[in-house]
Amino acid sequence: MMEIADFDSLRRAMAENSEEPEGPARNARAEQLLVAAEKLSIPLAVIEALGHQLRVYNYSSEKDKMFVPFARLLRMWDERPEDFDEYETHSLHWVFKWMSAGMLDQPHIPLASIEKWLGEMEHRYRLAGHSERAVRSAEFSVAGHIGDLPRAERAYAAWLAADRDRMADCHACELHGQGGWQLRNGRDAQALEVWGPVLEGEYSCAHEPHTVLASSLAPLLRLGRVDEARAHHLRGFRLVRPMESMRGAYADHVEFCALTGNEARGLELLAERPAYFTDTGQPRSRMEFLAVVALLMDRLTELELGGQRVPGPAGREWTARELAGHARAEALELAARFDARNGTPYVGDQLRERMAQRPLVDRLPLGVRAVRTAPAGPRAPLAAAPAPEQSEQREQPSLPALLAEARRLSDTLQPHALEAWAAVARAAEETEVDTYVRAEIADHTAMGRGPEGVALFERAAELYAEAGDEGEAIAAHARAAYVRALSGELDEALAAIDDPYDRILALYADDATGVRQTASVLMSRARILMRQVHERSSGAGDAEQAVRELLALVGGRGGSDVRLVSRAAEGRAMLAELAEHAGDGERAGELFRQASAQFVGAELPWFAVEYEVRVAGLAHEQGDLAEAERALRAALEHGGPHVEPVGRAQLHLQLAEVVGGRGAAEEAAEHALEAAHWADEAGESGTLGAWARHQLGGFLLRQGRFAEAAEVLESALPDLSAETHGDGAVVQTQWWLGDCLSELGEHHAAAERRLQAAEIARHWPEQHDHATLAHLAAESLGNAGLPAEADQAYTRAGELWRAMGNVHFLVRSLRARAWLALRTEAGPEGARALMADAVRECEAALEAVDDPAAAERLAGELGHTHRQFGDLLARSVPEDADDPAIQEAFEAALAEMAAAISVFAVLGEDGLHSRTAAELAAGWLEADLSRPAAATARARAVLDAYEGADPADETVRSRRAEARQLLEPTEE
């Protein structure tokens, strides 16, 4: 910590403290700096230190401390206004507005005092010659807070009518308040329209678009604009996360989670900010935060998770149910204090309304990972569940009704048939049923048991035989044989199927059984023989013969019997598998499409999903991406809600890759988002979900949605591993994240990500990615204000580029190091040496190259190097240099510009724009060297170069305009 010996060191210390993160540490340092300022015995030093203290209090959770330094500043102004310079005079009047808002946030400050202060503000602004715009804005805030809506309407109109001056809030903050008024009056769409310029980046400030993004979440959800709401949450939360003073905006994001089925993410947000439960410096934002905590905890309790442990105030463990009661009581107590101060019930009414909100979306996938609050499966209904006594009074279906429904579902091959039979089995435990029903129960129970179902199938066969249905008994034996094959007992299955096969054919020949039962046995046999093909690559001929025998039996017999249609469709799919096994992918694809069409035609589309996926795989192998895309879309459409979550995740992920491959990044992102959501639902967050988030982040990056992409990629990284996903995926995710952070201006973090990726790529046989990442990391380090570290990274990248023979990037690394040298101990001399090295590397490579195209590219690189050398020489002249030194530097710079012009001229039309840029730079140097004729000649050379050029070309217009600008002083 620097010693404060004079006013300059105090100012430097305050500037440094301003850059520190918001919070108690920064506030404490401001208090120390005030003590140091008082020791200097300079009134302006104390004034500036008080102003600094006031600002850091305002942007922290200790807003209640603002009033003391401001009162002291005001007293000093009243006693000796001449001690204030122009900036501090402006600042004093500016923070009047903070005082008004700050008083509203403190329920212990009487309303009469706030009104008096409002009058004081109006009086002082009038004396200082300021517009009443800021005063009316403050009055609007007071009226709106206490619920005096007519007065708020009048103040709002007066606010907008008054002239904007230096005391008016910035455009972004004003628009936030104006949109908030539309929101309060139930005009969601109008609010979003008002906020448009802030959301689109036209206006911004220290707290915007942070708060507008947070405020926009609920109205977007109410309007059904859920995609925008998701984007605003991801963008906005990234902005408010590091800012301690933004508890109110943070609360909006927690509320968003509670209203969109993202309760788990809401809990993660609470865990990140434990101090928000108890920080008392701004009671109003604490009240808002506690209200949404109660809302979230109520939602968890409604989902029967009231006993789950949740983050809460420090000092004890909390369940959701306990925290709901605590947060509600605390929030309502604060609201009561505000209402008592205000003399109206408005704050409490608004708070209760907020806590009583219902979810606006059942589940809105966000793309980021959140630990599930409940197991996968149907979510609880949004309406309140019936009371236990009501549930008990509901009439339970009778056994005959349950049996009829189970048979209907089985006969028509509907989903959930096995669940229906399970209900029959439970009902049958309490009553006597006939032998045939017991056979059916055993049969269908076995179907859900997998390898453990063999014994039950055999028992079902015994019961069917006892009931007199020999055909169904044989079919049950065949099903048992097939389960053996699935369990790895292929030889036993092959042996076990022979007897049922012979017996069923004999029965069918004697008209002692029907087509259904015969087809069932033939299908089991065909399935077993197909297992032999897949597991042992043998018996393809036997399998094909078995399938064709099945098709001969059921072909044309289906009609309305969906079971027979299903047998025919599956048989066709088996032929497709055999064609694929034989290497005939085209034939296999056609047969799979036919099988799919049969299932869809029989109104059994969920059975077509598997075959469309197979078509997609074959089409992908054949390079027919259009057909792969069609098949995947069909699979999603046909499967609907019947596809398991992991299957839906895989389908969406495959479709994202195909769609993204043809450049449709926006749609690809939608599918990757769905894939991430369904992977989470399936409990595959760390595997399939991580890969989906990796892809989603890349697609968002391609759309320029950098903040959203960064959130998603950061969420994916902890789960991505070289073992599961490959180190290429880890490097690519770090790379993409570095690109996002760079675009967001988070250069230090971008450098860290790029360096981490480079460290992994360092071990790869091919070093291009390693070199590129080292180069990008150096760029980020330079932008982060770390020139020494950047030079080190550029040096490493240059060594790699040299080893790979990549002269272009070697030269660019040298040029970058030259510019960095101006900011390090190497200084101008080191910078010139590095740029000279870059020129020599280019010239040597140009002499050695034989390929004309490569020579042309190298010539362009040489021209740009000369141009940058000239710029560097001109800019590296010390400010205190004498005229001869300046002239010498400018002459050297001019020589480099001339060399650049000569190189670009050789490139003809391809080097035109680069040549004219260098020509103009040389012209300005000629002017600085007092050579008007030479400067004029260069300007006219540029104009001549663009004679007859397209006037709509932006570069042409820009160059011509600069040339005319250069001509003006020289012609005068």
Quote the pLDDT of residue 375. 43
Contacts of 495 (CB under 8 A, 6+ apart): none
Residue 134's nearest CA partner among 93, 103, 102, 106 is: 93
Quote the pLDDT of residue 98. 86
Do residues 332 and 682 lie in contact, with contact meaning Cβ atoms separated by under 8 Å?
Answer: no
Contacts of 714 (CB under 8 A, 6+ apart): 737
User: What is the tens place of the pLDDT at every residue in 834-884?
Assistant: 999 999 999 999 999 889 999 999 999 999 999 999 999 999 888 777 888
**Which amino acid is located at 158 in the chain?**
A
Q: Is the pLDDT of residue 510 over 60?
A: yes
- Three-state DSSP class for 514? coil
Quote the pLDDT of residue 60. 85
Quote the pLDDT of residue 556. 72
User: What is the tens place of the pLDDT at every residue in 781-831?
Assistant: 999 999 999 999 999 999 999 999 999 999 999 999 999 999 998 999 999
Helices (H), 105-148: 111-128, 133-146
Quote the pLDDT of residue 372. 60
Q: Is the pLDDT of residue 370 over 90?
A: no
Q: Is the pLDDT of residue 391 over 80?
A: no
Average confidence (pLDDT) over 109-124: 92
Q: Is the pLDDT of residue 395 over 70?
A: no
Average confidence (pLDDT) over 582-608: 95
- 64 — pLDDT class (breaks 50, 70, 90): confident
Q: Calculate what percentage of the chain has a pLDDT beyond 90.
A: 87
* Angle, helix 727-743 to helix 690-702, in steps of 10 degrees: 40
DSSP characters for 763-782? TSSS-HHHHHHHHHHHHHHH
Average confidence (pLDDT) over 700-718: 96
- 598 — pLDDT class (breaks 50, 70, 90): very high
Structure tokens at 305: 């998770």
The residues pairing with 208 across neighbouring beta strands, listed in sequence order, are: 205
Quote the pLDDT of residue 621. 93
Q: Is the pLDDT of residue 376 over 60?
A: no
Quote the pLDDT of residue 62. 87
Question: What is the 8-class DSSP label of residue 367?
Answer: S
Quote the pLDDT of residue 883. 84
Residue 563's nearest CA partner among 517, 606, 625, 509 is: 517
**Angle, CA of 914, 916 and 919, to the nearest 5°:** 110
Kindly compute the dihedral angle of the four CA atoms of residues 429, 430, 434, 439, in this order, to the nearest 10 degrees.
Answer: -10
Residue 827's nearest CA partner among 818, 836, 835 is: 818
What is the residue-averaged pLDDT of the chain?
Answer: 92
What element of type H or E holds 310?
strand 309-310
Quote the pLDDT of residue 292. 98
Q: Calculate what percentage of the chain has a pLDDT beyond 70.
A: 97
User: What is the tens place of the pLDDT at every residue in 135-157?
Assistant: 999 999 999 999 999 999 999 99
- Three-state DSSP class for 225? coil
Question: What is the 8-class DSSP label of residue 554?
Answer: H
If one counts every other C-beta atom within 10 angstroms of the C-beta of residue 49, the result is: 27
Average confidence (pLDDT) over 659-669: 95
Kindly compute the dihedral angle of the four CA atoms of residues 631, 633, 639, 645, in this order, to the nearest 10 degrees.
Answer: 110
Quote the pLDDT of residue 448. 87
Do residues 525 and 480 lie in contact, with contact meaning Cβ atoms separated by under 8 Å?
Answer: no
Phi, psi of 852 (to 5 degrees): -60, -40
Average confidence (pLDDT) over 295-307: 96
Phi, psi of 677 (to 5 degrees): -60, -50
- Three-state DSSP class for 458? helix
Q: Evaluate the CA torsion angle 332, 336, 342, 346 in order and state its sign.
A: positive
User: What is the tens place of the pLDDT at every residue in 215-257?
Assistant: 999 999 999 999 999 999 999 999 999 998 999 999 999 999 9
Contacts of 476 (CB under 8 A, 6+ apart): 439, 443, 457, 458, 460, 461, 464
Helices (H), 200-319: 210-215, 217-222, 226-240, 247-259, 263-272, 283-302
Q: Which of 363-372, 647-656, 688-697, 787-796 has the lowest mean pLDDT?
A: 363-372
Average confidence (pLDDT) over 603-623: 95
Quote the pLDDT of residue 253. 97
**Which amino acid is located at 232 in the chain?**
H
Residue 473's nearest CA partner among 459, 484, 483, 486 is: 459
Quote the pLDDT of residue 400. 92
Q: Which of 291-300, 362-371, 841-850 has the lowest mean pLDDT?
A: 362-371
Quote the pLDDT of residue 371. 63
Q: Is the pLDDT of residue 100 over 90?
A: no
Q: Is the pLDDT of residue 626 over 90?
A: yes
Q: d(Cα 654, Cα 623) in Å, to the nearest integer?
A: 15
Average confidence (pLDDT) over 371-387: 42
